[in-house]
Amino acid sequence: MYISKHIKTIKFGCWFYCLSVCFIACKPSVVPIATFESGDYTGWIVNGDAFGLVPSAGALDRQNVVSGYDGIYLVNSFHGGDDTRGEMLSPEFVIERDYINFLLGGGMGAGVFIALEVGGKRVFETRPIVESEMLQWYSWNVEDFCGQKAVIRIADNQCGSWGHILVDQIEMGNRAKSDFLFDYEVVVDITKPYVLIPVEDNVPELKVAVCHEDKKLMEDMFIRMAQTKIDYWIPINVERYMGQRIIFRCNHIKRSSVGYKQIKQSSTFSPASSEPYRPAYHFTPPYGWMNDPNGMVYSNGKWHLFYQYNPYGAMWGNMHWGHAVSEDLLHWEHLPVALAPDSLGSIFSGSAVIDENNTASFGENAMVAVYTSAGRWQTQSLAYSLDDGRTFAKYAGNPVLADSTCVDFRDPKVFWHAASGKWIMSLAKSQTITFYASRNLTDWEKLSSFGEGIGEHGGVWKCPDLFPMKTDDGQGKWVLLVSINPGGPNEGSATQYFIGDFDGKEFKADNLPYPLWIDYGRDNYAGVTWNNVPDGRRVFIGWMSNWDYANQVPTVCFRNGMTLPRELSLKHNGKNFVLSSCPVAECLALRGKPAVYPTQRIEHDDVAIDELLQDNDGCFEVEMVIKPNGASVFGFGFTNNKGDYLNYMFDKTRQILSVNRQEAGLAHFSDKFACISEAPLPDAEEYAVRLLFDKASTELFVNEGEVVVTSLVFPRDVFNRMTFFSPDSNWTVKDLRVYRLGLD
Ligand code: FRU
């Protein structure tokens, strides 16, 4: 194998000098210009509202984790979010050393920068080379200005995504602290099917172009190439370039990084499957990051599941559509990535249909994926497959739908509406759902828009799904699912629903006590239903995570899984229809022989089952019927040998069912994870409970899915002890069974 590494060019705009070889000794080392550690902006002129009144102690409200700054305070222009603007001007100082070094992070837009002005002239203007909340060292070579007076200007004149800047620790010194190398090339003569790249999650991404003789072989990849340690490896499949010389060109790297020196070829790649929090029977990607389920369609006896996928790391980015198929919704066969980014952008969420009548002229029974191309604008595109989803061709006329007046314009869900003989698309547009119609999937006309003044509006609306359902009494109703983030009932991401009528043009919601939620737990988001399912079944799957912490959960090679597939139904609760969801009947096949427990009366003292299952591996289901017998507060919980506990509390007085995972295991990775989730408790004589555990997930279904609470947990040992408690009265648990769950 031959791998050579060399620097092709070193450049950084026209203001940034090559700093790699200079070393000047003899002066006292560092002279601070601004450290912001006094916690105020004394001496600086601060305009606008982006920078706040004082420096920030780390991240601000709704900002992801900020790292890499020095001490307690830094300059952070995320006050009021990305859309605020402002400028800061330092007091005048005299340049006394050859370099000015500073820590810099935030967005890369033209409106954010840090500049050096000497004698009223701007001599340097620098912006981050990567979008990141992690600050890194940058340097200016200022030897030509020694002895002159200067000021530093920090600007945030940028709105929209990444419209903020982070600055800290501005100092003069005798050497450059920045150690970036630009346009660094790793040359590989391909002799094996994989090139393995080492990744470290908590460092910024760098852009990697894969080239052969100066021709780009694929869209650029954004990779968190290891800087200080290797968290895991990701494979780039290069089988088709065997015998050729491939260049991996990194737009920048840090000379001190460990990663780029260890890029290697390999004959095999097998992702670690033995992580403690890898579920046994839920869908997870083989490696890498996953979010929304996409393109769900049933075809030729197979359930197709596509999904938002990052094959280059276990954090969000590089959106592709991953792909898997199953015959029973439980055993999934992983297939090659279905859709990769192209010149229109990365591949965001969408749906798939089977074009039985060849309306689009792609071919008989083409599987057509309708997805959002997320580039400079969000637009809607098509790709089609004539081999049942194995390979896709992008439609040459993409995009098929655009609207440059709207930033959030995405997640098309399409179905065939027989009554009007048209395809109907539901599309999330800011905080509404807009419906479009088409006869051929390529030309779309706007029908109507729904959502103003109804439902929850705490965040952008996403991932809609409109479908018909039969009610208990044989009537027909339409259901509209809408995911929202933030704004969920227990904060962060969640999915609300509306019940009403659709006439082929407009959706009219029934008068119900909105917002209504398909799941009150923190961990069921972006879920939609399969198209084309036989027997009138409506089968749903959600992403089992929450944007509040999805990028931080303590798994390694992969991040996040799907909920169990669930069958939806409309039930009347005495007052109105509610959308219920239960694990699909196929899930019964997961059950082993149950441990059966006699009816228990829970009086004043707690009752415990010390060992739910022998050799419990963390995958089990608890099924029981609770009779309150007049008790107003009662509950049950699970503990393990490490002192973790997870509690479920039913409070009939407050009509609240709460799930407490505050002490249920690991929670250090995000201050938003430990929490109590609350759901409305129906007023019933009995509560039939199903609760399914799969290593790191818990899914609670009460009264056949009338109330559902899905909660991730990261226990330090298996929950194998169950306790029943009754603070104020007595109640009964009957038909208690505990099943081991697993795939055979
Ligand atoms: C929801 C979402 C979608 C988008 C996708 C991007 O989780 O933001 O709206 O299409 O994720 O990965």
Within 201-346, residue ranges assigned H as helices are none
Of all protein residues, the one whose alpha carbon is nearest to atom 8 of ligand 1 is 462
Q: Which whole number is the average pLDDT over 319-326?
A: 98
- CA–centroid distance, 359 to ligand 1, in Å, is 28
Q: Which of 308, 319, 378, 483 to mutate to test the pocket of ligand 1 (most atoms within 8 A of CB)?
A: 308
Other CB atoms within 10 A of residue 637 CB: 19
- 30 in helix, strand or coil? coil
CA of 347 to the centre of ligand 1 (A): 10
Q: Is the CB of 410 under 6 A from ligand 1?
A: yes
Q: What is the pLDDT of residues 265-300, one digit of tens each?
A: 999 999 877 899 999 999 999 999 999 999 999 999
Lowest mean pLDDT among 198-202, 247-251, 465-469, 724-728: 724-728
Residues across the chain: 744
- What is the percent of the chain where pLDDT is above 70? 96
Question: How confident is the model at residue 21, as a pLDDT?
Answer: 34
Residues 44 and 153: their CA atoms lie apart, in Å, by 10
Residue pair 604/634 in contact (Cβ under 8 Å)? The answer is: no
- How close is the Cα of 548 to the center of ligand 1, in Å? 14
Q: Which atom in ligand 1 lies closest to the alpha carbon of residue 463?
A: 9
Res. 422: pLDDT tops 80:
yes
Q: Would you say the CB of residue 528 lies under 6 angstroms from ligand 1?
A: no
State the closest ligand 1 atom to the C-alpha of 428, by its place in the atom list counted from 1: 9
Please give the distance, rounded to the nearest whole angstrom, from the Cα atom of residue 566 to the centre of ligand 1. Answer: 21
pLDDT: which is higher, 273 or 607: 607
**Ligand 1 neighbour 291 (Cβ under 6 A):** yes
Q: Residue 274: its pLDDT value, please?
A: 84
pTM over 0.85: yes
Give the ligand 1 atom nearest the CA of 308: 12
DSSP E strands, 573-668: 577-583, 595-597, 600-602, 607-609, 619-627, 633-639, 645-651, 656-660
What's the one-letter identity of residue 211?
A: C
Ligand 1 atom closest to Cα of residue 316: 12
Q: How far apart are CA 595 and CA 739, in angstroms?
A: 6
In this prediction, residue 27 carries a pLDDT of 55
Report pLDDT digits (tens) over 676-723. Answer: 999 999 999 999 999 999 999 999 999 999 999 999 999 999 999 999
Ligand 1 close to Cβ of residue 56 (< 6 A): no
- Assess whether pLDDT exceeds 90 at residue 26: no
- CB of 349 within 6 A of ligand 1: the answer is yes
Q: Whose CA is nearest to atom 9 of ligand 1?
A: 462
Q: Which of 316, 349, 543, 560 has the most ligand 1 atoms within 8 A of CB, as the residue to mutate?
A: 349
Which one, of 452, 504, 503, lies nearest residue 482 by Cα?
A: 452
Residue 20 has pLDDT above 80, yes or no: no
Instruction: In whole angstroms, give the CA distance from residue 51 to residue 76.
Output: 6
> CB neighbours of 435 closer than 8 A, spacing ≥ 6?
424, 425, 426, 427, 446, 447, 448, 449, 450, 466, 505, 506, 507
pLDDT of residue 619: 98
Residue 542 has pLDDT above 50, yes or no: yes
Q: Is the CB of 493 under 6 A from ligand 1?
A: no
CB of 462 within 6 A of ligand 1: the answer is: yes
646 CA → ligand 1 middle, Å: 30
How far away, in angstroms, is 292 Cα from ligand 1 center? 6
Instruction: Give the atom of ligand 1 at the shortest distance from the alpha carbon of 349.
Output: 10
Q: Among the options 156, 292, 411, 644, which is catalytic?
A: 292
Q: Is 320 in the pocket of ligand 1 (CB under 6 A)?
A: no
Pocket test for ligand 1, best of 222, 289, 290, 291 (most atoms within 8 A of CB): 291
Q: Is the pLDDT of residue 18 over 50?
A: no
Give percent helix, percent strand, percent coil of the chain, each to the nearest 5: 0, 50, 50
327 CA → ligand 1 middle, Å: 27
Q: Are 556 and 314 in contact (CB under 8 A)?
A: yes
Give distance in angstroms: CA of 84 to centre of ligand 1: 24
Mean pLDDT of 237-263: 96
Specify whether the CB–CB gap between 133 and 107 falls below 8 A. no
Per the CB < 8 A criterion, the answer to whether 90 and 133 are in contact is: no
Mean pLDDT of 13-23: 34
Using CA atoms in the order 611, 614, 615, 617, what is the torsion angle rounded to 10 degrees?
-70
292 in contact with ligand 1, CB cutoff 6 A: yes
C-alpha 359/C-alpha 368 separation (Å) is 11
Ligand 1 atom closest to the CA of 543, numbered from 1: 7
- In short, whether 188's Cβ falls inside 6 Å of ligand 1 is no
pLDDT of residue 9: 30
End-to-end CA gap in the chain: 41
Looking at residue 232, its amino acid is Y
Note if 606 is an active site residue.
no
**Average pLDDT score over the chain:** 94
605: pLDDT strictly greater than 80: no
Q: Is the CB of 346 under 6 A from ligand 1?
A: no
Please give the distance, rounded to the nearest whole angstrom, from the Cα atom of residue 485 to the centre of ligand 1: 10
| CA 483 to ligand 1: nearest atom | 1
Of the candidates 51, 15, 28, 295, the one whose C-alpha atom is nearest the C-alpha of residue 172 is 28
Q: How confident is the model at residue 187 (pLDDT cuts 50, 70, 90)?
A: very high
Q: Would you say the CB of residue 348 lies under 6 angstroms from ligand 1?
A: yes
- Is the shortest distance between the CB of 224 and ligand 1 below 6 Å? no
Query: Which atom belonging to ligand 1 lies closest to the Cα atom of 292?
Result: 7
3-state SS string for 180-218:
EEEEEEEEEECCCCEEEEEECCCCCCEEEEEEECCEECC
Any ligand 1 atom below 6 A from CB of 308: yes
Cα–ligand 1 centroid distance for 619 (angstroms): 29
Tell me which DSSP letter residue 564 carries. Answer: -
Alpha carbon of 541 to ligand 1 centroid (Å): 15
Confidence of residue 348 (pLDDT cuts 50, 70, 90): very high
484 lines ligand 1 (CB under 6 A): no
